[in-house]
Amino acid sequence: MNHAVMHDANQSPGSLHGRWQLGPDDVRQLPAMPVARWLTVQQGRLWVTPDAASADDARDIWLEAGDELRLPPGSRWWVEAWPRAQAQLLEEPPARPTIRPGFWSSVLAWMPAWRLA
């Protein structure tokens, strides 16, 4: 799976972009974004809950070190470490545009001077 980091990992300690750490009693909200994201856990354990307004089926999810969770576009989440965790928030890369069959032949037909003999 190919993920692109949202921002540099050298963000301020309170930032939720890139890599961050949660200690005991740290609870943070991951705000809604227009793109899908991936929450990955490098160390520790996270308790993750979708915001009730963002999910039809709000349920708690436990993530261990090495786990990742796709956060759909437009969803808000709450995360809490049990007792500590290091995590990273990644942005899903946009889908590659597909070129319809026959695209290049139609371009060459439109530009006959450029057509290869």
What CATH code is carried by the domain that includes residue 82? 2.60.120.10
Residue 110 lies in a domain: no
Residue 111 lies in a domain: no
Residue 30 lies in a domain: yes
Do residues 41 and 67 make contact, with C-beta atoms less than 8 angstroms apart? yes
The pLDDT of residue 6 is above 60: no
50 three-state secondary structure = strand
Whole-number pLDDT of residue 52:
75
Whole-number pLDDT of residue 44:
95
Q: Which residues contact 102 (CB under 8 A, 6 or more apart)?
A: none
Structural domain range at position 33: 4-95
The string of pLDDT tens digits covering residues 43-79 is 999 999 998 765 556 689 999 999 999 999 999 999 9
Would you say how long the chain is, in residues? 117
Residue 106 lies in a domain: no
The string of pLDDT tens digits covering residues 85-103 is 999 998 877 777 666 676 6
Q: How far apart are the first and last CA of the chain?
A: 42
Residue 83 lies in a domain: yes
Q: Between residues 65 and 109, which one has the greater pLDDT? A: 65
Number of domains in the chain: 1
Helix (H) or strand (E) holding 106: helix 103-110
